[in-house]
A and B are shown apart, each in its own frame.
Chain A
């Protein structure tokens, strides 16, 4: 692959809910280069989660397409037609959700090894060894045999990240992963994501934490009303936005923080 060829190329994504009643994505075009860390900000209800869910192949779309590393990934010609999603390509993308979504009936180690064992037929010993070393790295080695209900929110979220990493994703998606956490637990999760950034893991992050956005982003997208309003380096979008709507949003968010 040529260094500058995009990792992700979204073209004219349209998506509505309820048989076209609610238009949520109204033509999204985003190109993401390998190694980029895209932070998506914007008002609640603006379609950020929908965008990530489409990227994860969790949603049907009305029209548009996504390619991943040059491969066709998601495409749809019209709302009436079934969206084509390449499940092989989907396996190279990992996602962490706002509400942990650990499997409650499995302990932490089992949560981590389930997918590698079933999806890739990885031998138990090898999957467990990798899981334990990841847990070690995230400061969770002591929790390997605990169940999700016994963990704090911050611990659960770190486990969810580790679980996604077990499949060696080429892109990680984070949808407001600290929004449900008590304030004192936010930094331990953000710290883990920073570690991944240090290893050049490509990621798309939706967050309301502007401090985190500034520190982790290589590029920021302001998304509102189902379109990309502004797209640029963090200094621009967060520091001196060109668009009036971005400025209003940034001012409001920083104002609330103080």
Chain B
């Protein structure tokens, strides 16, 4: 291989503009995913099948289709079906936010159901009624337990958000493609783009690792 790298034509400015859009997408999708995911988790655990089943299908739809299809479908089909036309960035946020909602709901559900039975017993022995046990014991314990998974899902959406470039949202990936075409330097451009994604994701993934190691120590 005798390729000579030349980074001189890679303008960082547009890439940082793109990163800014990507971060907006990620943060907004995470707000949706963290809040709506929690509500969805409660619905998934409803004792009534008529409530539970439609929401289970909702979750399975997102788990069993490629994210890229979800984005495209959302972008082209929803406006036509519902006759609503939102700003592209809003559409991107909704598509990613709903995807994250489905995955976070599963994380919440698993940790709510994973709260040890002893915690419920302790709550009864202390005279707390069922609602108080859910409100003051089960949900807070479960929320803490689910934090590493929420962070992992959240940073996953940061990476998945690159998919919205195909529907012309001017995120980091989109700016990267534009720059690559304009400079005829795709290798250098995508190297820089990859490094930017990495620089944001890596610290978060380290934090997740740290939390998990501390948990393992506390449990020992």
Contact = CB atoms under 8 A, between A and B. Distances in A.
Contacts of A161: none
Interface stretch (B6-14, B119-127, B168-176, B184-192): B119-127
Contact of A58 (B121, B137, B141, B218): B121
Interface string A88-101: 00110111010101
B contacts with A: majority SS: helix
A115 interface: yes
Contacts of B121: 53, 56, 58, 95, 97, 101
B125 A103 contact: no
Nearest to B122: A101
Nearest to A160: B122
For chain B, give the interface size range: 10 to 19
Interface string B125-164: 1111100100011001100100000000000000000000
Contact of A103 (B132, B137, B218): B137
Nearest to A149: B218
Contacts of A167: 126-127
Interface in A103-131: 103-105, 114-115, 118-119
A105 B140 contact: yes
A181 to B, nearest CB: 15
Given A104-B141, A105-B141, A118-B132, A99 B124 contact: no
A58 B118 contact: no
Interface of A: 53, 56-58, 87, 90-91, 93-95, 97, 99, 101-105, 114-115, 118-119, 149, 163-164, 167
5 contacts: A90-B124, A103-B122, A104-B144, A115-B128, A119-B128
